[in-house]
Amino acid sequence: MAQFIHLEEPPRPVETQGFALWALGFRPFYLLASTFAALSIGLWALQFAGWLGRPYLPTPLWHAHEMLFGFTVAVIVGFLFTAGRNWSNRPTPTGLPLAALAALWVAGRVLVLTPFGWAAAIVNAAFPVAAAIALAIPFIAAGNRRNYFFVGLLALMSVAVMGVHLEHLGVVRFPGWAGIQIGLDVVLFIMSVMAGRVIPMFTNNGVPGANATKRAWLEKLALGSTLVLLAADALQLPGGLLAGLLGICAAAHLARWSLWQPWRTLRAPLVWVLHAAYLWIPVHLGLRGAAALGVLPLSTATHALTVGAIGGLIIGMMTRTARGHTGRPLLADRYEVACFAMVLVAAVVRVFVPLVVPGHAIEAVICSAALWSAAFGVYAVRYWPVLTRARIDGRPG
């Protein structure tokens, strides 16, 4: 991940007004994902409250599908196309190919709202496969074997989303929401890998004297137990064994996080947001362990992952990488800090209010959705000019 060090270089301001939406992968996918997050969560909250009708995928399946295979995968693809160019020193999709991939993603969002189930299944499964192929080309050309697994993980996401649709269409029968859970496990592993690469580095670069460290054995335990969890979910491991595995995984991630010195980052918003978001991973794993024992509802653990960890890491990384890759200073303004706070508060409200005051669960969902939508809506509006215009330092991308 050393290739990301160039993000820390001071910008060299250049007055540049050219349209650059298709110049690099993060641009269209960050803009599409943030806009979609702001709109779709609001629609879901209205559906949850019974104020709207049902789409092709019945709620809450539509909500889970779109947040995972729509919003989250879009950000992952945008990030990987951007980082992949640095890792391989080879071009990733730009221009017309990038626009075509963005159009494929948009088509997937539209089709799940129509009666055309097979078309929705094929298009939604095709997007991560197309992204995997586009990423594999520069990796193979550069012999960048270290990152081949990202190609495989995108392909696995395609299998997961197709499984969701085939089960819904009645072609196959999976226990529970197996496709959704496997997709969540893949995202959890991707986040765990990327967080281990960037959070300690960003901490040491952004907070002098922080001394964020890593331990090789702990890295292997945290990532290895996450992979074992994925396999356990695919095999439908029984509750007691699953709870034990989740406990080990939670402890490993919490110990890993503590080595990154999170308490020293409070004056650096672009850093503390990543630490705060990562903390939701062991919280999620612990809550999921309780759910496996029947103590808590599984949705509580799921939203700790999706709203807290995924939402927090995405808003933090979208801000940092968009600033770095457009030549802007790595300093969050008050609007960006407000976005960070709204996402993290949305997670607290969504996860803990229904547990403490179950009679107000619907109000908690609506409040959390409003905070989430506002955060990503503010990001989309403020970053429209950033993501659609050329870099201010005159560099390509």
Chain centroid to CA 295: 27
Sign of the dihedral through C-alpha 79, 285, 293, 366: negative
For residues 246 and 298, give the distance between their C-alpha atoms in angstroms, rounded to a whole number: 13
For residues 184 and 178, give the distance between their C-alpha atoms in angstroms, rounded to a whole number: 10
For residues 248 and 317, give the distance between their C-alpha atoms in angstroms, rounded to a whole number: 27
CA nearest neighbour of 344 among 251, 269, 263: 269
Question: E strand or H helix at 129, and its extent?
Answer: helix 117-142
385, burial (CB in 10 Å: exposed 0-12, middle 13-18, buried 19+): exposed
Tens-digit pLDDT string for the chain (397 aa):
334 333 333 444 444 468 999 999 999 999 999 999 999 877 776 666 667 556 677 778 888 999 999 999 999 999 999 999 999 999 999 999 999 999 999 999 999 888 899 999 999 999 999 999 999 999 999 999 999 999 999 999 999 999 999 999 999 888 768 999 999 999 999 999 999 999 999 999 999 999 999 999 999 999 999 999 999 999 988 889 999 999 999 999 999 999 999 999 999 999 999 999 999 999 999 999 999 999 999 999 999 999 999 999 999 999 999 999 999 999 999 999 999 999 999 999 999 999 999 999 999 998 999 999 999 999 999 999 999 999 999 888 8
Angular region, 327: left φ>0, alpha ψ -120 to 50, beta rest: left
Residues in the chain: 397
